[in-house]
Amino acid sequence: MRQQRKVALPRFGEYNCALKYIVEQGFEARCILPPPLSRRSEDLGARNSPDLVCTPFKTTLGSMIEALESGADTIIMVPGGCRLNYFGELQEQILRDLGYTFDFINLSMYNTGKKTDILKALKVMNPRCSMVKAGKALYDAAQMVEHLDDITSLYYQNCGFDPTGTYPKIYRKFLSDMYAAHSLSDIQEGFRSANHAFADVKLHKPHNPIRIGLIGDYFTVMDPFSNLELEQKLADMGVEVHRLMNVSNDMLRSGEKNKQASIFRFSEYSMGASSTTDIWQAQYFAERGFDGLIQVKSAFCMPETDIMPVLANLSETYKIPVLYLTYDSQTSDVGLMTRLEAFYDMVDMRKKVER
Amino acid sequence: MSGIPVIGIPRAMLYYRYGLLWERFFETLGVSTILSSPGNREILDTGAARAPDEGCLAVKMFMGHVESLIGRCERIFIPRYSNYGTTALFCTRYEALYDGARNIFRTSGQRFITCNIDAQNGSPEPKAFERFGVELGFSPKESHRAWKEASRALEQQKKAEEQAQKEMIRNPGIKVLVAGHSYVLSDPYLGKPILDYLISSEAICLRTDALEEETSRRACAQFSPTCRWIVSEEVVGAVLLWKDRVDGIVLVSAFPCGPDSMTNELLIRRIRGVPVLTLNLDTQSGMAGVETRLESFLDIIRFQRGEMV
């Protein structure tokens, strides 16, 4: 009998808890969690990648190497709407050239337009796995992702106004609950207790706080390591940080075609990958009178670069300041802090004038 | 009638691939057109000032062409090429050109018109041109006929190019395969100097874009199954088909081309036995750096062939 697979996916924000759940509960394989992203992962990735590829490619490659070092024998890579679709093939080639031995399940190979093809990929992972069980695990994991996104967005909206410092503790407890979950009731229990704990904290929130909306490319805006913990930095300045860009909003509750219709005046057709969602979200924030927008993108990201003129137009139309942040494999956050402080001061002054 | 041409066509990006199709389409329908002048330094500079800084060189060039057409025609034609199906995609930049230009030149008062080719969302090429013709004020039947005639002309041109290339390869001498997107290779400011230099050094220049699409795409599908960008597939496929018959390969790409950054890396990693030179073109002026690299590349080839002992 073949040994149980030791499956790994590269680190992506905190979503690995849901991926771990699918692999362990659905496919009865072992999930190897690569170490949290670090300077080392990025260095490993950048050293072995082509120069002009976008930063998420480098980061995920580094994470794959660390996963292999941690004992994984199977790596899974996801498909996507931009260059992401091609990540897997090139990353596999690079890892093989480096001399690693492993199985690679590249989901974009199965993303051919025929829906049944994706089932073949599941069979590769564990030929004897039950489809019912896998389906159940996918459903549970979807719930976990939704809960995770809800708690995360609640956390960054409020943690800047928590004088007691219990918010981070609750959030960390919630995350460890999610990583340890074995069933749907574990997930729901963790969600409930985090929600209750958040509700018990007495916040010192002004009547009309500064609210900043974040948009950006799929990886960089959702992964705290890649954006140098931008959300936490903003929250620590006393900002209500809103980010609609997350897996639940973009994949589980998408509605992309209808979003395109409501941003008609800015963009008639989809400009590729995350662009429609981004422009729609920017308009959503602007219409609700947010004080500022930050576009978070990795260097050389194609769709995000292309929507910059649209955001400039939107900023002019709604009179909302936009800060464009481009992240390359940089590791120091001094430059980022300077720009954020300047942006914060400007937004703050505008708000005082308005009042 | 206002006396200016109805449609303006920027001579950049996919013009070098589908230009004949568009021109013939308008011609058959009797729509007057104006074509922007061939790419040069000035156009690139104006485009670079308008386009996002991090955009690719080709987009900067494109926006320069658009700017040069403003006020000289009723509408500027920027087609949106998205895909020919799930496995035949275009780079997201082509999808974004139309809306990008609309937003960049929003204060100019210029009107734009597009033709949306997006087979995944119910708008394959014949249908897209039919709708486009209707938007221009012609009947669906007329538009369809015009598209059919135009696409036949494009096919013939492609066949002739391939034939010419096949004859070239029989000639003796150093043969260099120049791989890249048509809008880079054919642009008089970007890629043409490279080809000219190679020809002046008595090398025979073969181009990846002069092969028939289907043949090269089939070759690529086996080599790199998840490569879905049509244009990159052709480049990769053509390199695979011709690599054994040439003495060297030059990969030319515009900085920072998204698809090229990955397919070129894959080619370098998987192809053995042929010298490969990678050239990244940027907004800098001057050919000296490129010429030095081409010169030493040709020297390497001559050494390999035993001509420089």
- Please answer whether residues A66 and A35 qualify as being in contact, where contact means their C-beta atoms are separated by less than 8 angstroms: yes
Q: How far from chain centre, in Å, is Cα A245?
A: 8
Topology of domain B7-153, per CATH?
Rossmann fold (3.40.50)
When mean pLDDT is compared across A92-96, A112-116, A224-228, A322-326, the lowest value belongs to A112-116
- Please answer whether residues A298 and A326 qualify as being in contact, where contact means their C-beta atoms are separated by less than 8 angstroms: yes
Write the DSSP symbol of residue A71.
T
- Select the more confidently predicted residue: A71 or B286: A71
- Residue B250 has φ and ψ, to the nearest 5°, of -110, 120
Q: In angstroms, what separates the C-alpha of A310 from chain B's closest C-alpha?
A: 6
Residues 6+ apart with CB under 8 A from B235: B179, B180, B181, B208, B209, B216, B263
Q: Which residues of A60-71 are buried (b: 16+ CB within 10 A; e: fewer)?
A: bbbbbbbbbeee
pLDDT score, position A331: 66
As a whole number, mean pLDDT of residues A76-91 equals: 89
CA distances from B2 to A275, A300, B101, B106, B110 (A): 37, 42, 24, 22, 14
Q: In angstroms, what separates the C-alpha of A281 from chain B's closest C-alpha?
A: 17
Q: How far from chain centre, in Å, is Cα B236?
A: 14
As a whole number, mean pLDDT of residues B221-228 equals: 89
d(CA A32, CA A198): 31
**Chain B residue nearest residue A276, CA to CA:** B96
- Select the more confidently predicted residue: A118 or A99: A99
Confidence of residue B1 (pLDDT cuts 50, 70, 90): very low
Q: How many CA atoms lie within 13 A of A185 on its CB side?
A: 0
Residues 6+ apart with CB under 8 A from A75: A7, A8, A9, A10, A64, A67, A68, A95, A102, A103, A104, A105
Contacts of B100 in chain A (CB under 8 A): 271, 306, 309-310
Q: For residue range A285-326, list pLDDT tens digits in order.
A: 999 999 999 999 998 888 999 999 999 999 999 999 999 999
| Cβ–Cβ below 8 Å for A299 and B54 | yes
H helix or E strand, kind and range, residue A191? helix A184-200
Query: Does residue B284 register a pLDDT over 80?
Result: no
The SS3 call for residue A56 is helix
Kindly state the tokens that stand for A152. 């995360």
As a whole number, mean pLDDT of residues A28-43 equals: 92
Confidence of residue B20 (pLDDT cuts 50, 70, 90): very high
- Looking at chain A, the whole-number percentage of residues with pLDDT higher than 70 is 99
Q: Among A105-119, A321-335, B141-155, name the most confident range.
A: B141-155
As a whole number, mean pLDDT of residues A194-212 equals: 93
As a whole number, mean pLDDT of residues B211-234 equals: 88
Query: Does residue A153 register a pLDDT over 60?
Result: yes
- Please answer whether residues A218 and A246 qualify as being in contact, where contact means their C-beta atoms are separated by less than 8 angstroms: no
Residues 201-260 of B with CB under 8 A from A: 224-228, 255-260
CA distances from B253 to B178, B185, B232, B257 (A): 10, 9, 11, 7
Q: Domain spanning B169-305 has what CATH number?
A: 3.40.50.11900
Kindly state the tokens that stand for B287. 């050919």
When mean pLDDT is compared across A127-131, B38-42, B289-293, the lowest value belongs to A127-131
Q: In angstroms, what separates the C-alpha of A314 from chain B's closest C-alpha?
A: 9
Flag whether residue B104 sits within 8 Å of chain A, measured between CB atoms: yes
**Chain A residue nearest residue B55, CA to CA:** A305
| Cβ–Cβ below 8 Å for A302 and B258 | yes
DSSP string covering A235-296, please?
Answer: HHTT-EEEE--SHIIIIIS--HHHHHHHTTTT-SS--STTHHHHHHHHHHHHHTT-SEEEEE
Q: How far from chain centre, in Å, is Cα A135?
A: 23
**Chain B residue nearest residue A97, CA to CA:** B269
Fill in the amino acid letter for B100: G
- Residue A229 has φ and ψ, to the nearest 5°, of 50, 45
Q: In angstroms, what separates the C-alpha of B309 from chain A's closest C-alpha?
A: 35
Instruction: Check if B7-153 and B169-305 are the same fold.
Output: yes
- Please answer whether residues B178 and B208 qualify as being in contact, where contact means their C-beta atoms are separated by less than 8 angstroms: yes
Structural domain boundaries in chain B: 7-153, 169-305
When mean pLDDT is compared across A128-132, A167-171, B32-36, B175-179, the lowest value belongs to A128-132
Length of chain B measured in residues = 309
Q: In angstroms, what separates the C-alpha of A79 from chain B's closest C-alpha?
A: 9
When mean pLDDT is compared across A136-145, A249-258, B191-200, the lowest value belongs to A249-258
Q: In angstroms, what separates the C-alpha of B201 from chain A's closest C-alpha?
A: 30
Contacts of A53 in chain B (CB under 8 A): 261-262, 265
Query: Mutate which of A82, A86, A97, A326 to disrupt the B interface (most B C-beta within 10 Å)?
Result: A86
Show the 3-state SS of chain B: CCCCCCEEECCCCCHHHHHHHHHHHHHHHCCCEEECCCCCHHHHHHHHHHCCCCCCHHHHHHHHHHHHHCCCCCEEECCEEEECCCCCECCHHHHHHHHHHHHHCCCCCCEEECCEEEHHHCECHHHHHHHHHHHCCCCHHHHHHHHHHHHHHHHHHHHHHHHHHHHHCCCCCEEEEEECCHHHHCCCCCCHHHHHHHHHCCEEEEEHHHCCHHHHHHHHHHHCCCCCEHHHHHHHHHHHHHHHHCCEEEEEEECCCHHHHHHHHHHHHHCCCCCEEEEEECCCCCCHHHHHHHHHHHHHHHHHHCCCC
pLDDT score, position A118: 74
Query: Does residue A40 register a pLDDT over 60?
Result: yes
Query: Does residue A1 register a pLDDT over 50?
Result: no
- Please answer whether residues A259 and A277 qualify as being in contact, where contact means their C-beta atoms are separated by less than 8 angstroms: yes
| Cβ–Cβ below 8 Å for B92 and A273 | yes
Query: Does residue A161 register a pLDDT over 70?
Result: yes
Give me the residue from B55, B95, B226 closest to A305, CB to CB: B55
d(CA A141, CA A149): 12
Chains A, B: CB contacts within 8 A come to 122
Query: Mutate which of A51, A52, A61 to disrupt the B interface (most B C-beta within 10 Å)?
Result: A52
As a whole number, mean pLDDT of residues A121-136 equals: 82
Confidence of residue A2 (pLDDT cuts 50, 70, 90): low
d(CA B212, CA B165): 11
Give me the residue from B96, B264, B280 closest to A271, CB to CB: B96
**Chain A residue nearest residue B270, CA to CA:** A93
Q: For residue range A251-294, list pLDDT tens digits in order.
A: 888 777 888 889 999 999 998 888 999 999 999 999 999 999 99
Residues 6+ apart with CB under 8 A from A284: A213, A244
Query: Does residue B131 register a pLDDT over 90?
Result: yes
As a whole number, mean pLDDT of residues B268-283 equals: 90
- Please answer whether residues B178 and B250 qualify as being in contact, where contact means their C-beta atoms are separated by less than 8 angstroms: yes
pLDDT score, position A238: 93
The model's pTM: 0.92
As a whole number, mean pLDDT of residues A34-43 equals: 93
